Structure formats: structure tokens, C-alpha cells
Chains A and B, each alone.
Chain A
């Protein structure tokens, strides 16, 4: 039964998550509200377990007659996504409790969303891909509207749902065109059957649908609104784990399904990347709400990641993994920082509320500064290495105009990142924030250490850089 074991191992993380989610539903049905508090730990542990399962079978395999195929490239993203999702769940509880929405459904929805991430990463067939995307998206819509008594949160959920459904429709239409012209839904089959005009149409529509999911311009308009309206703990999750997973899937689809048609999609991806960088960084300049600001910043960062995709598989795949993981870690830390912005009378979100943070909460200020400098791509922090790898991949592929756009966007983005630093360090202190939850503080500090320093030390053959190259080598050529 060796075959059976290998199949089981390949889909183990998803099986595990599905089981955990359903078990959670049962426990919830039986114990009701008594499960609320425990559910967060239950969810986080399940996610860490899934990460471990993905890690021990890193090289992956094939299952269900080619519907699912994993390799080191996607499993690498899986491990990081599950861990980040688990941590995001961990920091949510205190926040939700204060809003009296600490319900077990939250943890279960996070598990199901992560299950969706697992499925899209493992997908080797258009059907699997679509199923995974819907699992992820539907859970996400509900999560965005989780504060059901808040008009902002409901609006965010609705907006996300309507636009997301449109994007899913485009993806589905693209997929059906591809199927119609190639006669197969399997990734390998499509790759083997060559490009016809119809397939090309399908490919473009699929790119559009996927670009929505990773919030790349011009399919980005939902991002600032949803980031602003959705509960902060949910945004912390959105901006880290699903972002990493979907970006890797975007690359995976282009590399493995349409790898031969790189000449055709390279320009599209390059344009999307350039637009995202510029729109994201310009849009963030005038924001006064920290969540909106980070929303635009995430659009810009997707742009950088897509530069690596446009560079092609050889150099782009490891660069993408390096950049996206560092970004996801930093992003989670930053949103955990937003969770710490709490005064008597509730959460505050204006960036001016951070005034003089260096005096009132020095540890938080230092760690947030590290995260901000890292996401801005300044050495010696981790974000610099991400950007360096992206530039290296881009230039190696001869994408000089994109490289110059990366530079321009970086300079513009420094405008608002430095404004945050200025508010925290130069301005006079405003009223002190309330004490921060231990889990939130731990996340901020840990992510700052990881994004700021650990990547610096371990961006070596033995560290992330090495892992990323190893993982990227797992992609079929």
C-alpha cells in the first residue's frame, strides 16, 4: 500500500485541516459558547500541526489521479502560510473579546480559509484550483463581516463578496475557455497541449481573476476599503497568510500551466506589477488611517512580488518566495501593532494616534520601526533582501524598466513609511495606549526579530535564501 501512503502524505495537511474544522464544528454544536475561548487555541494548534505535516513531506507527491500535486515550492509556502494563520488566530482572541465577538466560528472559519489555501497550493487541476479558491474566498467574506453589528464590517464583507464573486466568475470563465480549447483541466495536460488563441483568452481571464485575489492593480480597488472596514484581527490574517499563498499560486499557475507561453504573459504581468507598485505607493501617501495605508502598501508590495514572477521561473521563483515570506511576516507584525493601538473607549486607527510612541511605549515603537524599515526595504533589515532578490531576478531577465519602477516606487513609499517613523519618534506624545495583550506584543516583537534580524543572519545558504532556492528547485521545469 505504498501508493496509498504517499497519497495520504501528499494531502495530509489538507485532510488534517478538514478534519480539524469539522471536529470543531461538532464540538461547537455540542458545547456552544463554552467552546469559544478554547477554539482559538484549538485552531492555532491545528494550523501549526498542518504546517508540520506540510514540512515533513516537503518534497511532495501526487494524489487523486493528478488532481493534486505538491512540490517543495508550494509546500514551502504552505508551511509559512499555516504558521502565519495560526499566529494571526492567536492574536485575535483578545481583540475579539473586547468587541464581544469572540465566537468559535471565527477560529473555524480561519481553519477553513487555511484549508482553501492548502488546496489552491496543491492544485494540479483547474477544478481543484477553483474549489480551493472558493473555499478560501467564502470563508474570507464571512470573516470580513465578522463584526456583524458594525456597519463598516458588514460593508467590507459585502463589498469583498460582490467584487470577489465577479473575479471568481472571470477566473471560472477563463478556466472554461482553457478547458474548451485544450480539452483538459489538468495543469500538465494544458501545458502539453500548447497555446492557441482561445487558450490565450482563457489565460488572460484567469490572470485577471487571480490578480484580484492578490489585490494587484488594476484589480485592487477593494483592498483599502476591506482593510479599513474588516476587523483588524481579520486584516492581520488577510495581509499575511492568504496573501503569501495566493501570490505563490499566481506564480505556480503561470510557471507550471502556462510556462511555455511566458512571452505572452510576461508583458501582462510586468504591466500589472508596474501599476501595482505605482498606484499602491501613490495611494498610500495621503492616507491618514493606518489600515488603509497598510492596504495600499500591500498593493505596492504585490507589485514587487510580481516583478519576480515576470522574471520567469529560473530566478523569479526563489526571489518570489524570499520576498513574499519576509513580506508576510512583516505584514502580520505590523497589523499586530495596529491591534495594540487601543485606548479607553476602543481601538484607534488614525496614524496621528501613534504620536510620540517612542516615549510612551518604547519597545512597541522600536519593534514597529524595525518592521516599517523592513517593509520599506531598507538595509540591514530583512525586507531589503527581499527587494534585492526581486531586483536581481528582474535585472537577470532584462526587465530594466521594471527595476527602475521598483526604485521610483520605493522612494515614493518612503514618503509614508518615514511619516510613520516621524510620528512615532519626533512628535509629541499623545495619550498612552492601554496595555497590550501578551500575545499581540509577542507577535510584534517576534516578527520584528524575524523580519529585522534573523533574515539578515540566516539569509545564507543555510537560511531562508537557501531554503527558497531549494524550494524553488522543486518546481517542474
Chain B
């Protein structure tokens, strides 16, 4: 294709940055310990923020050179690699929007770690930057093996992030996260190898045109779904998520909820629908049922939580249920809504985890009962919290509303019972989110330790303000996203309809 390989640069920029950080640090630490270590930790974090911000700029550059009117993959770079595998990168509106979400959230995450991560900062920054490369790679790969490499390699830095910087049960959570995801992924690997043998190519564009026999599709679909359902996560394989979320450091939770979960939805849209259309139709009712169970059941579970992070984690599972509902409605409204919901949830749940992180850094507890009356001491915090609570509930005017209403409308067209079930979830989400808000923010200060708590500092402002702006902006002007993702959603649906 010629031209500047912007996608390669964007993908590997964080990795190169991580290597630089590693080399510079090993060159400068001559057994320095104690006070100097904390000081240089800030420098490393700053370097991480700068590198990830540069990656964001690169992704914006990719966005600028992207032609929104055109369906199909753009900015394609392809190099021969090995056998049927090629190194092929490219984006359409769907993947580009998720890339932008990733590159946007990563610097915020690193910045949010400014005060909360004190030990082994260099390793932390390296892990985050490496993870960013793998996350971007997942969304820009146009080759099965390349996709798989990025998809699975991302487990390693996330495992370390949860396991080293996590909470009390971090080891259990890290193992559970890793093994759950791995089982799904390996089944997907078998399916991928089968597809490569059958189609003679690992190229997405070839595979999208290749018609697998319906009974083969069923198996391939199941193998892929095993991976994506764990990642999304869908009920009943969601149980790794509350553990991982609760134990992960704040920034780790943000990335988990913001980006890693989206890989599941992305996978369904990129593989299951266009490549296995017959099987997708076959499993539509089952997926609807699982989506509704996820929405209703996990909402109820969220209601009974006493841990703030766990509550938001379960709410994530419920919100991902809307994504499943939208994707498997197989109509334009539903799929568009699902894509929108993924992006909006990435912003809102990320923000909510940051919100929890703000008080956790001060009080070192996530028990809801330990809080109460925060509005008296932290008015600005309370306002931000209010905004994101409402967005999570799906109040009109916030981005949460657009995603939920569109997926439900799409779902209604496909199966009215599913939409009705999902609507229950909207009510429940109001119940648990408002309960959480009331019990932490309103009321009298009962915990004496809260008397001296300080309101948000500058860094927390810088982290949350952009997320708040985007939540409102996309709520009022959802077309900003639709303009970008429209053509690729339609393309997926047309491939499905034309699906032999």
C-alpha cells in the first residue's frame, strides 16, 4: 500500500517505549534504594505517561488519515511472514474506535497511578506499556495468527499487574483470570488452525469470503465463543471478573473494564458474525437467553455487594449483556448500539473504577459501609460520582443511555422477550447504583476517619474531567461515534446477510 506505516508505528510505540524505560532504568539504578527510589518512580511514571500520550497522538493521526465514508479495511500494511501467516494490519471504523479508546485510557491509567503505586514502579510502567501494544495489536491485526498472538500475549502483563500490585487475594485472582481466559483462547486456537488449513490463508479478508459448511461453522463458532464469552464476560463464565477487578490495582481495573472486556465483543463482531453467519443464527436464542440472564442476575448480585469495586464489576457484566443482546439482534440498530455501548461502557466503567480509586487511596478500604456522608467533605468528588452513576444507570443525556436504548430497540426487533428482560436490568441498575451512591456519598459521616478526608487533587481532576466531558458529549451527540463506526457495522451485517 505504500505510505507511512502509521499502524505499525502506533502499535509498537509503547513496546519500544517500554524497552527504553527498561534500558534507561537499568543503566541509572546502581543499587539506589530508599528515598531516591520514590523520586525516580515519579520520573518513570511521567515517562510512561508521555509515551502513551504519544501513542494517543499516533492513533489520532491514524484517525485523521482514515476515510470514514469508506467501508472495509483501510491503512492496510501487509508483509509476508511465514507459510499461510502474514503480518497484516488494518483498521475499519469499529477497530479504530476501539483503538482510540485504548490509547485514550492508557495515559489516564498511568496518571491515575501517580499516588497509588509506590513499589516497583519501573516494572509497573513497563507492564502497562507492553500491555498497550498488545491491546492495540488485537484491534488492528487482520491476520488470525497475529490476532491470536496479541490476544493471548496480553494475558502476561495483566497477570503481572494483578499479581504484583493487586490486593490481598491477588494471586488467586491472577491465576483465575489467566486460566479462565487461557482455556477459552486455546479452544479458539484449534478453531483458527482448522480455518487456516481449510481456507489456506489466515487473512481476515479471505476468511470473510470463505464459506464454511454449516455443521463446521457450528463447531468453529462454539470454539470462538468459548474465548469471547470468557473475555466479554458472559454468564456463567464471568466469575473471574469480580475477583480480578477487586484485586487489581485501580488502573488495572480501568484497563480490564475499559478495554480487555471489549475484545470479547470485538471478537463476536469480527469473527462470529461475518465468518460463521449460519451458526450465529443458530445460536441467537441461546445468546439472547444468556444475555438476559447476565443482565438480570448480575444486576441482582451487584445490588447485594458490600464492596464498591465488586459492585461495579458485576455491573460491568450486566452492561456487557446489553452488548451481547445488541450484537446478536443482527440488525443495524442493535449492532450500532452494541458498538456504542462498548465504547461508552469503556469510558463510564473506567471512570467509576477511578472514582473508587480516589477514596481507596485515602481510606484503603472498599467497603461501602466504611463510607457515608462524603458529600460533606468532598463536594467535587460527589458531583463527578453523581455524573458517572447516572451515566451507568443510563440517564438520557449521557452516553450510557444511547447504548442501552439502541441495543434494546435492536433486541426488540429480533426477540421482544429478550428486550423485555433487558429492560428489567435497566431498572435494577438504577437500584444498585443509586443505593451505592446514597450509602457512600449522602447521609451523616459515621466513620470518624472520614472527617479529615480531602477532596480531589489535581491529578484526579485531570484523569476524570476528560472522561466526564466525553460521557456528556457522546450522550448529546452520539453521531460523533456513529459517523466512524457506521460503515463497518453495515459491512458486517451485509457480510452476514450475503453469508452463503
Contact = CB atoms under 8 A, between A and B. Distances in A.
B160 A388 contact: no
Interface of A: 358-359, 362-363, 373, 378-380, 384, 388, 391-392, 395-396, 403-404, 407, 410-411, 414-415, 418, 421-422, 425-426, 459-461, 463, 465-466
A422 B179 contact: no
Given A404-B190, A411-B186, A415-B179, 15 more contacts: A378-B153, A379-B148, A388-B145, A391-B189, A391-B190, A403-B193, A411-B182, A422-B163, A425-B163, A425-B164, A426-B171, A460-B81, A460-B82, A465-B82, A465-B83
A461 B80 CA distance: 9
B178 interface: yes
7 contacts: A359-B120, A362-B26, A388-B189, A414-B179, A414-B182, A422-B175, A426-B170
Contact of A392 (B150, B160, B163, B197): B197
Where chain B touches its partner, the secondary structure class is helix
Contacts of B187: 407
Contacts of A459: 81-82
A465 B81 CA distance: 10
A426 B164 contact: yes
Contacts of B152: 378-379, 384
Given A414-B179, A460-B81, A388 B153 contact: no
A459 B160 CA distance: 27
B183 interface: yes
B465 interface: no
A378 B155 contact: yes
A240 B197 CA distance: 31
B282 interface: no
A363 B22 CA distance: 11
B57 interface: no
Contacts of A388: 145, 189, 193
Contacts of A362: 26
Interface residues of B, number: 35
Contacts, number: 78
A403 B156 contact: no
Chain A to chain B: the 3 pairs with minimum beta-carbon distance, closest first: A379-B149, A407-B186, A460-B82
Contacts of B194: 395
Given A391-B190, A414-B178, A380 B163 contact: no
Contact of B149 (A358, A384, A410, A426): A384
Contacts of B183: 407, 411
A425 B160 contact: yes
B413 interface: no
B54 interface: no
Contacts of B120: 359
B6 interface: no
A378 B189 CA distance: 11
Interface string B148-185: 11101101100110011000001100110011001100
B470 interface: no
Contacts of B155: 378
B86 to A, nearest CB: 10
A411 B159 CA distance: 15
Contact of B153 (A358, A379, A403, A410): A379
Contacts of B163: 422, 425-426
A359 B152 CA distance: 26
